[in-house]
């Protein structure tokens, strides 16, 4: 493959955009490459500005569960756009979207629309503080909840990739109000709550971690968090920006049978457009302005284009009878094939999968259940693997600490091709 135009485009972008990108991991820094610049996408196929085509298993970092440029979603966006792109005023799109979310996620009785996952998580912890009258928030090492100050005390994904687990610009005061526990370690949570449980407003957790790679909750972990928060009068917030509507109609909370107090959403509910939302019990949500004292606002919240795309997306998911079984079937085939390839080549690795989310960690560990275990991964080996995978026409995350996403539009033939190319790449790594 030739990448001449992408290399030139990156040089030009670096002159006017910090690092040449508008989100750090896009820079391909951790895989020692220049980023490819995308021209278009259709279905499961991406095309870059050099004309190279890729089977896309990144799906815009998760939201494109029906692939790129789906005709139904495009039609919904076009119809809405013909009437106007933004009003800064209520529309019926917002009510329809709220009704769909509430129908599909039983723990949500009321929901507020925002414009990004970061905005959703920032607003959710402010609401939790306002509701409980407490100031501290507990989060987990390796969980990423956006770039809000309260979350960049110890982060995953992009911050790991850049070697910046603590970001300059976050004040000491903010850091003191954020307590870090170990993911999948209830003892670490209990110890913190014994010491300062009555100061903690909420636990916020990725129900399935997607930002240190795919790391599922261990058995009893989520229920344990629910029990602890109930005991101490704190709230439990599930960050389902990635898992919402991907693992099940009701997200990870349906998948695992645990009911949080608040939920943050994003990605899929925008149908590919910028969006976020947070919701939960009425008594909590009614603390928000204009009927309560907790302030949050946004000119583009509930944008009609994003709402129309999201409504189309969620309606298709509801109406497609085999939707989740098909995602599971395809993902299981891919997982089994990679396991077979690892065994055949002798390359050491751990595959974590939950539904249509998956990560191959290049590690000698027997399992990956926490940030410390994820960080044993050989990132240089991943960089070599990524380069071979990209050059074979397969697009995955340019970071060891991210997920691969299966979409409904991926075909069995494409999965067979991916497994064949995966075997070739692993054979090269085994030499």
Q: Could you tell me the pLDDT band of residue 56, with boundaries at 50, 70 and 90?
A: very high
Looking at residues 42-71, what average pLDDT do you find? Answer: 98
Mean pLDDT of the region 347-367:
98
Same domain, 180 and 46: no
Same domain? 205 vs 283: yes
pLDDT of residue 16: 98
Count: domains in the chain: 2
Is 54 found in the same domain as 83?
A: no
Share of the chain above pLDDT 90, in %: 91
Catalytic annotation present for 278: no
* Whether residues 49 and 83 fall in one domain: no
Q: In the structure, what pLDDT confidence band is assigned to residue 160 with cuts at 50, 70 and 90? A: very low
Per the residue annotation, which of 54, 93, 144, 278 is the catalytic one?
Answer: 144
Mean pLDDT of 174-203: 93
Residue 124 CA to residue 121 CA, distance in Å, equals 5
173/36 same-domain check? no
- Residue 151 has a pLDDT of 86
Domain hosting 330: range is 4-69+322-430
**Based on the domain organization, do 294 and 187 belong to the same domain?**
yes
Q: pLDDT tens, 380-393?
A: 999 999 999 999 99
Looking at the chain, the whole-number percentage of residues with pLDDT higher than 70 is: 97
Mean pLDDT confidence for 141-154 = 85
Last residue of a domain, one of 291, 319, 347: 319
Query: Is 387 a known active-site residue?
Result: no
Examine the domain organization and report whether 52 and 149 are in the same domain: no
What average pLDDT does range 5-10 have in this prediction? Answer: 98
Give the mean pLDDT of the chain. Answer: 94
- Above 80 in pLDDT, residue 163? no
Q: Is the pLDDT of residue 156 over 80?
A: no
Q: How confident is the model at residue 157 (pLDDT cuts 50, 70, 90)?
A: very low
For residue 166, what pLDDT band results from cuts at 50, 70 and 90? low
Distance CA 133, CA 305 (A): 36
Which of 304, 319, 334 marks a domain boundary? Answer: 319
Mean pLDDT (whole number) for 206-222: 97
User: Catalytic residue at 249?
Assistant: no
Q: What's the pTM?
A: 0.95
Q: Per residue in 118-143, pLDDT tens?
A: 999 999 999 999 999 999 999 999 99
The answer to whether residues 28 and 398 touch, using CB atoms and an 8 Å cutoff, is: yes
Residues 19, 105, single domain; the answer is no
In this predicted model, what pLDDT tens digit does every residue of 246-260 receive, in sequence order? 999 999 999 999 999
Residue from 48, 56, 177, 239 carrying the catalytic annotation: 239
Contact 239, 267 (CB under 8 A): no
Q: Does 265 lie in the same domain as 248?
A: yes
Q: Is the pLDDT reported for residue 376 higher than 80?
A: yes
357, 240: one domain:
no
pLDDT in tens, 329-355: 999 999 999 999 999 999 999 999 999
Among residues 301, 319, 337, which one ends one of the domains? Answer: 319
Whether the link from the prior residue into 290 is cis, omega within 30° of 0, is yes
- What is the band of 154 on the pLDDT scale with cuts at 50, 70, 90? low
Same structural domain, 263 and 145 = yes
Q: From the candidates 177, 267, 278, 408, give the one annotated as an active-site residue.
A: 267
What's the average model confidence in pLDDT over 215-222?
A: 98
173 and 312 in a single domain? The answer is: yes
Q: What pLDDT, on a 0 to 100 scale, did the predictor assign at position 182?
A: 93
Domain with 149 in it: what CATH number? 3.40.640.10
What's the pLDDT band for 431 if we cut at 50, 70, 90?
A: confident
The CATH number that applies at residue 20 is 3.90.1150.10
């Amino acid at each position: 493959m030739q990448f001449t135009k992408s290399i030139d485009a990156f040089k030009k972008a670096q002159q006017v955009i910090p690092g040449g990108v508008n989100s750090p991991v896009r820079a391909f820094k951790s895989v020692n490459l220049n980023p490819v610049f995308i021209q278009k996408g259709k279905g499961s196929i991406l095309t870059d500005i050099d004309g190279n085509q890729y089977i896309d298993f990144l799906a815009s970092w998760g939201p494109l569960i029906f692939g790129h440029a789906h005709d139904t979603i495009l039609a919904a966006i076009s119809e809405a756009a013909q009437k106007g792109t933004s009003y800064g005023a209520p529309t019926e799109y917002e009510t329809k979207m709220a009704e769909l979310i509430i129908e599909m996620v039983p723990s949500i009785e009321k929901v507020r629309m925002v414009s990004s996952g970061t905005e959703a998580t920032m607003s959710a912890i402010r609401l939790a503080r306002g509701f409980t009258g407490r100031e501290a928030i507990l989060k987990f090492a390796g969980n990423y909840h956006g770039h809000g100050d309260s979350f960049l005390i110890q982060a995953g994904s992009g911050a790991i990739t850049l070697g910046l687990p603590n970001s300059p610009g976050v004040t000491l005061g903010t850091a003191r109000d954020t307590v870090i526990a170990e993911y999948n370690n209830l003892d670490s949570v209990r110890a913190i709550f014994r010491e300062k449980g009555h100061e903690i407003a909420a636990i916020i957790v990725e129900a399935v971690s997607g930002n240190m790679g795919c790391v599922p909750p261990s058995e009893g972990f989520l229920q344990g968090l629910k029990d602890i928060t109930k005991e101490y009068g704190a709230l439990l917030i599930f960050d389902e920006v990635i898992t919402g509507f991907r693992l099940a109609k009701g997200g990870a909370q349906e998948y695992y049978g645990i009911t949080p107090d608040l939920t943050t959403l994003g990605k899929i509910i925008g149908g590919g457009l910028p969006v976020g939302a947070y919701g939960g019990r009425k008594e909590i949500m009614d603390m928000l302005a204009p009927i309560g004292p907790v302030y949050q606002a946004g000119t583009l919240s509930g944008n009609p284009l994003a709402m129309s795309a999201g409504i189309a997306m969620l309606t298709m998911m509801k109406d497609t009878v085999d939707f989740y079984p098909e995602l599971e079937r395809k993902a299981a085939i891919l997982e089994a094939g990679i396991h077979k390839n690892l065994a055949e080549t002798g390359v050491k690795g751990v595959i974590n999968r939950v539904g249509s989310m998956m990560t191959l960690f290049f590690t000698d560990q027997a399992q990956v259940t926490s940030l410390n275990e994820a960080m044993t991964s050989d990132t240089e080996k991943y960089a070599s693997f990524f380069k071979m995978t990209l050059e074979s026409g397969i697009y995955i995350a340019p970071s060891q600490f991210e997920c691969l996403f299966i979409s409904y539009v991926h075909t069995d033939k494409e999965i067979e091709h991916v497994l064949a190319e995966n075997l070739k790449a692993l054979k090269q790594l085994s030499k």
